[in-house]
Amino acid sequence: MDHRAFKTEINEQFARIAKAIANPHRLEIVDLLAQGERSVEELAKESALSVANASQHLQALREAHLVTTRKEGLRVYYRLADPTVYQLVQLIREIAERQLAELERIVNTYLLERKSMEPVTLNELLTRLREPGLVILDVRPTLEYAQGHIAGARSIPIDELQQRLHELPQDQEIVAYCRGAYCVFADEAVELLAARGYQARRMQQGYPDWKLADLPTETE
């Protein structure tokens, strides 16, 4: 056996995955698909890309077998090929948090209010999941909630929260969550709720992290 040829060829295959994911738009697309399947048009809108550009990024992910598709009429829907694809993104983030000081600077620049918010960890929320005095609030879009959410969570999308505050009890603690650690929906929700006199905290991570940890979920 030619060991050098073997090592080169096997590492070329590993590099295919790294190359496919090594783009900020593709990382965002994987983050969106971790919430549930989407059409090209929906992904383009959420990621502020043209449909043609989104399609190119999706094709690169598909060629590396990181996403799969299904067709419904004229629309093509994409989903992650395997939960470990999101796990790869998690790992990239963890390494960046440990090794890149620039990441901390960016977070401190854009998420100024987060420093004053005491986060709720996955384990803490799990132990309090059925606590009667706790409201778990999903502030992602309604479609994402329907495709999967934390068991017992209530849905009020962030862009509807101000108009629907009357639906939330003021005498109970509220834990808001959204798409992930760097999604700002939960931060905005906690800031709004606190300003209106509610006791509110944000979950440290997001729904995909909860699901990947095999914790209780529901769908509609």
Q: Write down the catalytic residue from 40, 178, 190, 203.
A: 178
Q: For residues 184 and 111, is the Cβ–Cβ distance under 8 A?
A: yes
Which DSSP category does 71 fall into? E
Neighbours of 129 (CB within 10 A): 15
Active site residue 178: yes
Sheet order of strands, 67-72 included: 38-39, 75-80, 67-72
Judge whether 67 and 88 are in contact, CB under 8 Å.
no
Q: Locate all alpha helices (DSSP H) within the chain, ordered by sequence.
A: 3-21, 24-33, 40-46, 51-63, 83-99, 101-110, 122-127, 142-147, 185-195, 207-212
With contact defined as beta carbons under 8 Å apart, do 107 and 114 qualify?
yes
Please tell me the distance from the alpha carbon of residue 73 to that of residue 78, in angstroms, as a whole number.
14
Reading phi first (left if > 0) and then psi (alpha if -120 to 50, else beta), residue 155 is in beta
64 SS3 class: coil
Q: In one letter, which amino acid is 127?
A: T
Residues known to be catalytic:
178
